Structure 1
Amino acid sequence: MAKTVTLHTLQIVTFSTTLSFAEVISRLDNQIGKETTRGIPVSVTRAVTSKEDLEAQVNNFVGPSGFGYFNEFNHGRWLQLYSVSTQAVVYVVGNPLIAQSMLQHDLHGALNIPPRLLVLEKQDSAGTEVIYHLPSSVIALNDDPKLKAAAEGLDSKLQALVESITAVES
């Protein structure tokens, strides 16, 4: 048995807003089509037989942001049992059509696709943070320029999503 450990620098992005946790979650749910589509079902990728069919199916399930809802982990709910009252939910969002633009170059990127967003209520309910791993820092792990360009494209799309859900309108 062989074991390899590779050192790598991870970049973490944090957006901070004065918006309430509930408002940020509501905006995120809207942008990823959570309430209208109930997420991208596993059957979408199992039942398709062509790229065109996959594209049509995925496009039916993504929200206005171009991302779809896959899953969520509500850590805040169970942490309350340990007297931690902060709300904290990890969302898994993505789009197989975006994913293929990276995975065709290096399947190791699948370890971090689809991306995850941590939506975290600030102390004393003073606003919300949205935190995520910068996709290019965890997906583009080799020198392939096409992989790097695709991962940086995901960086931009994810940033646009987070900016839209954390923006304070004046």
Structure 2
Amino acid sequence: MESQGATQACQGMLRTMANAPATSTYTARRLTVPLNRPYDDAVRTFERLVPAADAASFFKLDTWDAVVRLMSEEAPHGFLRYQSLDISPFMATSGAAGECVVYLMGNHVIAERMYRHDHSVMLYAPLHLLIHADASGQAVFVIDQPSTLFASFHDPAITAVGHELDEKVSALLVALDAQPPAELA
């Protein structure tokens, strides 16, 4: 009987802890990759390799199997663009002008494999990246390494998906004719 009481007390503490604020401190790795091509060409190529998500096409599907099938057809490199924002016009009069576009890129079929464990993964899925022009007009690709973001959840299943995303980002960089950082291997 004493064991049952202790178990109930522990369960009660866990429920209380679940309702308390929590913080996580972790280390992320930012990857900055020269694309060795002019900015406009890099943006065009990236947007061809990572097509815009057609939300309406996904929303009209009635089974997850159909969603999985459509994702494999629509995302040739494993990613779709959910959003893009050209920052350049917002900064044009600031004195810090320069070309820069921010993207939300991901794959909600892959994200679901993490979401089922912890909805908070959606802080980092889709992946947040940008392409900007350096001082000579050449494109630079910048992203936080997915595995470092998802490892912060301390769940082996989520961390494994983060490593899979590292591999997909590496393959995308190869498709962009860029040298992926060794950390993505």
Cα distance in 2 between the residues matched to 1:2 and 1:150 = 28
Alpha-carbon offset, residue 5 of structure 1? 2.9
2:174 alignment counterpart: 163
Alignment of 1:44-123 (within 5 A): 44-62=57-75, 64-123=76-135
Aligned residues: 161
Cα distance in 1 between the residues matched to 2:28 and 2:177 = 23
Moved more, 144-153 or 111-120: 144-153
Do structure 1's residue 24 and structure 2's residue 31 form an aligned pair?
no
1:113 partner SS:
coil
2:6 alignment counterpart: none
Alpha-carbon offset, residue 19 of structure 1? 1.1
1:91 partner SS:
strand
Alpha-carbon offset, residue 21 of structure 1? 0.5
Identity %: 20
Do structure 1's residue 145 and structure 2's residue 156 form an aligned pair?
yes
2:30 alignment counterpart: 12
1:141 partner SS:
helix
> Gaps spanning 5+ residues in structure 2: where?
1-18, 180-185
Q: Deviations over 1:59-92 (max 9, x none)?
A: 3432x21211211011112211213331010111
TM-score by length of 1: 0.83
> Gaps spanning 5+ residues in structure 1: where?
34-38
- 8 A contact 1:76–1:84 mirrored in 2: no
1:73 partner SS:
strand
Amino acid at match of 1:140: A
Cα distance in 2 between the residues matched to 1:3 and 1:143 = 17
1:23 partner SS:
helix
- 8 A contact 2:102–2:128 mirrored in 1: yes
Alpha-carbon offset, residue 11 of structure 1? 1.1
- Mark the structure with the bigger radius of gyration: 2
TM-score by length of 2: 0.77
